[in-house]
């Protein structure tokens, strides 16, 4: 019964729409202030603080203080994996977005977004497929980075080999994409790919949402690095 109570307690943390909205917002991998999250969910700051206290106490979030500001973010990649699994289990939304703004936001998220610390949406799936076609990723045997893939990450992209081994996370992991219903690349290599794409200006974040936009330089990089035609994949 102890495990049953723990499972029920964890599920209860996400049973409230406001707390769920906070956690979904933080799937962008960034730290948020209480004020930002309150505005995102449309609740008062004191209400937001109460909900955030429960999420921190429950281990889904961590917090830090800088000056007068309190920042919160997902505790780790396991918390993000849990949220993505929930979303994937739900399947496609039964209610299509209404209004031009909602439709545009939904289309942007489907085109490309961050999934905590890696790329998702059509962009993420296209990169995983491109790496597979180039022999850098083996999707047939458990989503594994090949020897050629290691050379590509460390040589072509300039990621330090030591940085790929410093965590207990798997080097590569399949993450089911809730919009594409196929897997994109997660794990340490997925996190470093996202970081490199941002550092090189190949993608840019769109507002405060998780959506990212492929830049002209990114379109060129996809073509040169992975033979991906961004236009053909509807990435731009």
Where are the domains positioned within the chain? 2-75, 93-226
In this predicted structure, what is the pLDDT of residue 231?
94
Helix 100-111 vs helix 121-133: angle between axes, to the nearest 10 degrees? 20
User: CATH top-level class for 2-75?
Assistant: mainly alpha
Q: Is the dihedral of CA 17, 21, 22, 23 positive or negative?
A: positive
Average pLDDT, the chain: 88
**pLDDT tens figures, 134-160:** 999 999 888 899 999 999 999 999 999
Per-residue pLDDT, 200: 96
- pLDDT-derived band at 2 (thresholds 50, 70, 90) equals confident
pLDDT band at 204, cuts 50/70/90? very high
pTM of the predicted model as reported, rounded to 2 decimal places: 0.78
Average pLDDT over residues 22-39: 89
| Residue owning tokens 């790919």 | 193
pLDDT range class, residue 176, cuts 50, 70, 90: confident
Instruction: Give the integer Cα–Cα distance in Å for 57 and 38.
Output: 19
> In the 8-state DSSP scheme, what is residue 76?
S
pLDDT of residue 51: 95
């Amino acid at each position: 019964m102890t495990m049953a109570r723990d499972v029920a307690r964890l599920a209860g943390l996400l049973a409230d729409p406001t707390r769920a909205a906070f956690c979904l917002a933080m799937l962008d991998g960034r730290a948020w202030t209480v004020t930002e999250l309150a505005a995102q969910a449309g609740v008062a700051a004191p209400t937001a603080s109460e909900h955030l206290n429960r999420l921190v106490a429950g281990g889904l979030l961590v917090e830090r203080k800088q000056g007068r500001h309190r920042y919160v973010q997902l505790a780790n990649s396991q918390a993000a994996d849990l949220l993505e699994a929930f979303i994937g289990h739900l399947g496609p939304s039964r209610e299509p977005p209404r209004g031009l703004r909602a439709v545009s936001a939904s289309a942007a998220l489907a085109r490309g977004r961050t999934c905590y610390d890696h790329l998702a949406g059509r962009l993420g799936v296209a990169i995983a497929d491109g790496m597979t076609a180039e022999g850098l990723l083996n999707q047939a045997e458990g989503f594994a980075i090949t020897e050629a893939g290691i050379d590509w990450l460390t040589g072509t992209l300039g990621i330090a080999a030591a940085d790929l081994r410093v965590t207990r996370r798997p080097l590569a992991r399949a993450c089911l994409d809730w919009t594409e219903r196929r897997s994109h690349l997660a794990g340490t290599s997925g996190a470093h790919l996202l970081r490199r794409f941002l550092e090189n200006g190949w993608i840019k974040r769109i507002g405060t949402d998780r959506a990212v936009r492929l830049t002209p330089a990114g379109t060129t990089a996809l073509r040169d690095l992975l033979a991906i035609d961004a236009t053909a994949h509807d990435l731009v």
